[in-house]
Amino acid sequence: MATSPDMHQVVHQLMPKTINTLKQLISIPSIATEGYSNQKVLEAAHLTAELLQTVGFQNVRQLIPANGGRPAIYGEIPGPPDMPTVLLYAHYDVQPPGPTEEWISPPFEPTERDGRLYGRGAADDKSGLVAHFATIQAFDGKPPVGMKIVVEGDEEFDSSLPSYIQLHPNLFKADVVIIADHGSIRVGEPTLTTSLRGSAVLTVEVRTLKDKQHNGVFGGPVPDAFIALCHIIANLHDKEGNVHIPGLEPSTWQGADIPEEIFRHAATLLPTVDLIGNERPLSAQLWAGYSLNVIGIDMPAIEGASNSLIDVARARINVRVPPDQDAERALALLKQHFTTLVPWHAALTITDSHTCDGFIAKTDGPGYQAGHQALKEAYHAEPQVIGDGASIPLTNVLSQQFPKAEILIWGAEDLAASIHGPNESVDVRELERIVLTQVLFLQKLAQKNA
């Protein structure tokens, strides 16, 4: 087997080809939701399957979800006897481009500028996909451990893979799972994401009248449902923007800190606007705290607005839950809190609630050790540990099905990658470092089992 220094060269030489493959994938607008071409999604599925076969995966096939979701692509490479199995994950579908006039170069015409490759999916998550191809190519299709790969086709909307895994768990059985759909705060800083927040979502409805009434005739003594709803919403944060829900306390954070300037820029926060929540540091708020947002509202639109008292108003509310806390409990306490906040004895109804628990990675096994060492060697720097404020339902399903499996989350999606926004990009050298990390990881994992 080749030694590590050789692998630096091998990976470096694979990069031009890897970037070309990435450009080919970016050119296909594989947006897996209504209103976009399903043909393009299938084209990306096809190309993914072809590329998996080319790099040496066997039994490559489409997995068709029962609920009408888009196909995932699956493949495997049996390992030498007694070697562990690693499951690689990425997704080939992408977010819609959003307003195209905000893109400097067209979203589906991959363009290189200043060391970054621009285009929808350049980072999220076609970078993960090509990183997996290159990793296998570095071993000429014969990696030192057993491999499985699943490339999802509808991660961005209504992910169907978690339910598929529940129905066919054996296909996904592995000792280590690599989810290459993440990244560092700054390029060149090796990073492992070891926790994800959970979430709870619900719709709250406030009603004050049976029907809309004239606001000139009745306005004054008669409460408006929208104003009542606003009272509830306005009391969920204090003046400084800290979330205050009785019974819900944030968890503690011990990983890396996130620099404020980088964070403000990535969030596209306007220069004059404050960050909110003054009780805890930024990283603790983001990765171990509660956050609460209104993500939708049902109200008469301005166009067609009439002189009426609003009879009913609804808000969809999303709460992010610290990784180690129970999302169901958070939801119950939030519902309870609403009942204490509703003003003027307005009628309150809560509907359509659901939760997703957070995730905490195991950090004491051979997979995590090998991953940590591989990152350190590929980046020539000490890896840092971060969290993610968002959930990945896949991690929960995999850890329920395979409690012993270790899950590693990394990738080339640094904070400046603008995933989901205009001008999404990947840093080409960061992508090379991630490929090298994965190659070194497989070698180290094999050595631990030799």
Binding residues (CB under 5 A) for Zn ion: these are: 124-125, 181
In the annotation, is 93 catalytic?
yes
Phi-psi region of 102 (alpha: psi -120 to 50; beta: other; left: phi over 0): alpha
CB of 128 vs Zn ion, minimal distance in Å: 7
Secondary structure of residue 413 in the 3-state scheme: coil
What is the phi/psi pair of residue 390, to 5°? -100, 165
Q: Which is nearer to Zn ion, 10 or 28 (CB)?
A: 28
Element of type H or E holding 48: helix 38-55
Beta carbon of residue 344, minimum distance to Zn ion (angstroms, whole number): 44
> Contact 359/196 with Cβ under 8 angstroms?
yes
Residue 165 or 315 with smaller CB distance to Zn ion: 165
Cα–Cα distance between 62 and 275 in angstroms, integer? 45
CB of 252 to Zn ion, least distance (A): 28
Catalytic residue (one of 76, 124, 125, 155): 155
How many beta carbons lie within 10 A of that of residue 343, not counting itself? 15
Q: Which is nearer to Zn ion, 125 or 357 (CB)?
A: 125
Q: Rounded CA gap, 148 and 60, in Å? A: 10
Asked about 155 being catalytic, the answer comes back as yes
Residue pair 313/206 in contact by the 8 Å Cβ criterion: yes
Those residues with Cβ within 8 angstroms of residue 108's Cβ, 6 or more apart along the chain or in another chain: 26, 27, 28, 29, 97, 119, 120
Answer yes or no: are the C-beta atoms of 443 and 4 closer than 8 Å: yes
CB of 431 to Zn ion, least distance (A): 15
- Tell the smallest beta-carbon distance from residue 304 to Zn ion (Å): 38
Q: Which residue is catalytic, options 93, 156, 377, 413? A: 93
CB closer to Zn ion out of 181 and 189: 181
Nearer to Zn ion among residue 125 and residue 175 (C-beta) = 125
Between CA 48 and CA 239 the distance in angstroms is 50
The catalytic residue positions are 93, 155
